[in-house]
Amino acid sequence: MNLGSPDSPEVKDVRRYLNEFLMDSRVLDFPAVFRFPLVRGIITPFRAPNSAKAYSKVWRKDGSPLIVLTRQLADAVQQQFDYPVRTAMRYGNPSPRKVFDELLQADPGLKEVILFPLYPHYTMSSYETAVAYARAIHKKYKYPFSLKFVSPFYNHPDYIAALAARIAPYLEQGYDKILFSYHGLPERHMRKDDETISRYQNGAKDTGFVMPAINYQKQCHETTRLVAEKLSLPENRYETTFQSRLKQAGNEWIKPYTAPRLETLPADGVKKLLVVCPAFINDCLETLEEIAMEGKHAFESAGGEELVYIPCLNDSKPWTDTVVAWVKAML
């Protein structure tokens, strides 16, 4: 299960997608009385046309990169399974309900569905909302099968190994620094995640998955540390930053920000920069347009010689094998 995408890069479809995404109270955590006019009256009308242009730059003949690449991962996993493997999206299509219906129609005696949220790190606006939404659909329509969830895996040795294997060939080509750029979040989300983690540790919250002991920001830094350790990266050759800030969702987001750092790195002597985005399992608008296009232009316009974007894990063999091994262990 992944985040989702508009049905097309047309403004009307992007607007519909953004409305669904931003009206999620775990994403834009304002009271509904404020969230509705903010999203429908301010954010979406102004953001949809610009986002549509951005989507148009990365849209493929076969559809949204996120949807296509998630499907390719599912297809690669399916080759190693007799059980059906399907993709679902938290927002947009295909929805969990549609996928649940298809699975049940194909097998009326279905006993269990394993849901794999494609988010390495836990936070309320990504992993938690995916799990909560799937559970709500499951409960509302009284599906006869049970649900199991793959837990967040930001520090799992298999994930770290797959990520290191993805990065390693690019290091061999030479670099001055590697930037680990994660999706940013408002500071207040860290405080809310800390509260949720505390309730879980005190036994007051049943999540159905293994809750990390640290918040999202700390999880990201731990992923960076473990990958750097795996690849024997010198401490002065890598940094962690956070991208994709939506100012209307709050002024204070977790720092440092990726965009301004890309513009200052050349002045620090960085000529060849590698950028990897570990919070994203599949390439999408935020990696392909924001980093590989806009980020590259910003870095090189500021005096950098070359920004090389390292693709997400997607359906790479080490990652596909990891997914298969984890799911088989849950059967």
* Residues annotated in a binding site for Fe(2+): 183, 286
* Domain containing residue 166: 157-309
Q: Picking from 19-23, 195-199, 201-205, 263-267, which range would have the lowest pLDDT averaged per residue?
A: 201-205
Q: Domain check: are 129 and 201 in the same one?
A: no
Beta bridge partners of 238: 178
CA distances 207 to 28, 131, 219, 223, Å, are 21, 9, 18, 22
Task: Report pLDDT digits (tens) over 19-29.
Answer: 999 999 999 99
Q: Domain check: are 187 and 295 in the same one?
A: yes
Residue 18 domain-assigned (yes or no): yes
Task: Report pLDDT digits (tens) over 278-292.
Answer: 999 999 999 999 999
The CATH number of the domain holding residue 137 is 3.40.50.1400
pLDDT of residue 206: 74
- Please state whether the peptide bond connecting residue 94 to the residue before it is cis, i.e. omega within 30 degrees of 0: yes
Three-state SS at 129: helix
Q: How confident is the model at residue 204 (pLDDT cuts 50, 70, 90)?
A: confident
pLDDT of residue 42: 94
Q: Domain check: are 224 and 116 in the same one?
A: no
Task: Report pLDDT digits (tens) over 137-165.
Answer: 999 999 999 999 999 999 999 999 999 99
Q: Domain check: are 34 and 140 in the same one?
A: yes
* Residues annotated in a binding site: 183, 286
Phi-psi region of 156 (alpha: psi -120 to 50; beta: other; left: phi over 0): beta
Q: Domain check: are 208 and 267 in the same one?
A: yes
Q: Domain check: are 217 and 296 in the same one?
A: yes
Q: Domain check: are 116 and 182 in the same one?
A: no
Q: How confident is the model at residue 79 (pLDDT cuts 50, 70, 90)?
A: very high
Residue 316 domain-assigned (yes or no): no
Residue 240 domain-assigned (yes or no): yes
Q: Domain check: are 203 and 229 in the same one?
A: yes
Please say if the pLDDT value at position 327 is more than 90. yes
Burial of 86 (0-12, 13-18, 19+ CB in 10 A): middle
pLDDT of residue 166: 99
Residue 317 domain-assigned (yes or no): no
Q: Per the structure, how many domains does the chain have?
A: 2
Q: What residue type is assigned to position 175 of the chain?
A: Y
For range 84-110, the mean pLDDT: 98
Residue 318 domain-assigned (yes or no): no
Task: Report pLDDT digits (tens) over 48-78.
Answer: 999 999 999 999 999 999 999 999 999 999 9
CB 172 within 8 A of CB 232: no
For range 129-137, the mean pLDDT: 98
Query: CA-to-CA distance for 79 and 77, rounded, in angstroms?
Result: 5
* Mean pLDDT estimate for the chain: 97
Residue 151 domain-assigned (yes or no): no
Q: Could you tell me where the DSSP H helices lie in the chain? A: 11-22, 32-37, 44-58, 65-78, 96-106, 129-140, 157-171, 187-201, 216-231, 258-264, 285-288, 296-301, 317-330
CA distances 279 to 169, 288, 312, 320, Å, are 20, 14, 9, 17
For range 237-263, the mean pLDDT: 94
CB 273 within 8 A of CB 181: no
CA distances 327 to 59, 78, 91, 117, 309, Å, are 31, 11, 24, 12, 30
Three-state SS at 37: helix
For range 183-200, the mean pLDDT: 95
Q: Taking the complete model, does pTM exceed 0.75, yes or no?
A: yes
Q: Domain check: are 136 and 233 in the same one?
A: no
**188 token code pair:** 């207040």
Placement of tokens 């993805």 in the chain: 166
Residue 315 domain-assigned (yes or no): no
Three-state SS at 183: strand
pLDDT of residue 251: 82
Q: Domain check: are 130 and 163 in the same one?
A: no
**13 token code pair:** 């479809």
pLDDT of residue 161: 99
Q: Domain check: are 303 and 246 in the same one?
A: yes
Residue 246 domain-assigned (yes or no): yes
Q: Domain check: are 224 and 302 in the same one?
A: yes
Q: Picking from 131-140, 166-175, 206-215, which range would have the lowest pLDDT averaged per residue?
A: 206-215
Task: Report pLDDT digits (tens) over 222-248.
Answer: 999 999 999 999 999 999 999 999 988
